[in-house]
């Protein structure tokens, strides 16, 4: 089960959460990773439609493509290890406590929070801030999955995707900063 760490408050009032994924099965890790990517795909598609500029829509559309590639990578890795997930990998095998820990640790926003957030995004800055929060959750999960992976190949794959999630975070942060500088914030 994942354990929610004590939340520390930084100067920016942001909670730091550490996840312990070491007790998850590889099947569960792949299911969670695929779910992260699917949530990213759905969020970026929906958020892209709310953006007024083609440049920002193109940024989010490129993230949709990358998240889809990540999902396919995880599906292939799972098959390569004899783990066959349905096209829509459900979470019936993951305990409710584990799923709640993921929500609490902000790896996943709750479905209600995600839907409400998407519906309430009215400005490019709001879209970018929420996207940055989503990427931070992914980074936390993949950092812990990388540390917990027993197979070198799995560790390398998680580490590669962790690097790409960091790139997403930097890209979105740069876009938010450019928005602030331009005065369109």
> Residue holding tokens 């980074």?
139
Superfamily of domain 24-182: Ferritin, core subunit, four-helix bundle (1.20.1260.10)
**Mean predicted lDDT score pLDDT of the chain:** 77
Q: Which residues lie below 8 Å from residue 182, measured CB to CB, with a gap of 6+?
A: none
Summarize pLDDT for 97-107 with one digit per residue, the tens.
Answer: 666 666 565 56
Type and span of the H or E element at 159:
helix 152-182
Closest CA to 109 of 120, 121, 118, 122: 118
Residue 148 · residue 19 · CB < 8 Å = no
* C-alpha to C-alpha distance for 2 and 84, rounded to whole angstroms: 23
Q: What is the pLDDT of residue 86?
A: 66
What's the Cα-to-Cα distance from 30 to each of 61, 119, 141, rounded to whole Å? 24, 29, 11
Summarize pLDDT for 124-142 with one digit per residue, the tens.
Answer: 888 899 889 888 888 988 8
What's the Cα-to-Cα distance from 21 to each of 11, 34, 40, 95, 154, rounded to whole Å? 27, 15, 20, 13, 14
Most confident residue range from 24-28, 87-91, 131-135, 155-159: 131-135
Residue spans per domain, the chain: 24-182
Summarize pLDDT for 52-101 with one digit per residue, the tens.
Answer: 889 889 999 999 999 999 888 888 888 888 887 766 555 555 666 666 66
């Amino acid at each position: 089960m994942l354990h929610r760490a004590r939340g520390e408050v930084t100067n920016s009032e942001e909670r730091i959460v550490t996840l312990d994924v070491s007790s998850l099965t590889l099947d569960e890790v792949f299911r969670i990773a695929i779910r992260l990517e699917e949530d990213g795909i759905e969020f970026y598609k929906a958020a892209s439609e709310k953006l007024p500029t083609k440049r920002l829509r193109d940024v989010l559309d490129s993230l949709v493509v990358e998240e889809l590639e990540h999902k396919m990578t995880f599906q292939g890795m799972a098959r390569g290890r004899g783990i066959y997930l349905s096209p829509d990998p459900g979470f019936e095998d993951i305990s409710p406590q584990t799923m709640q820990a993921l929500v609490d640790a902000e790896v996943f926003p709750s479905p209600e929070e995600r839907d409400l957030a998407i519906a309430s995004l009215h400005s490019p800055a709001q879209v970018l801030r929420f996207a940055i929060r989503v990427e931070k959750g992914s980074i936390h999960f993949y950092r812990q999955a990388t540390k917990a992976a027993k197979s070198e190949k799995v560790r390398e794959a998680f580490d590669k995707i962790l690097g790409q999630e960091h790139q997403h975070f930097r890209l979105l942060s740069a876009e938010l900063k450019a928005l602030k500088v331009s005065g369109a914030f």
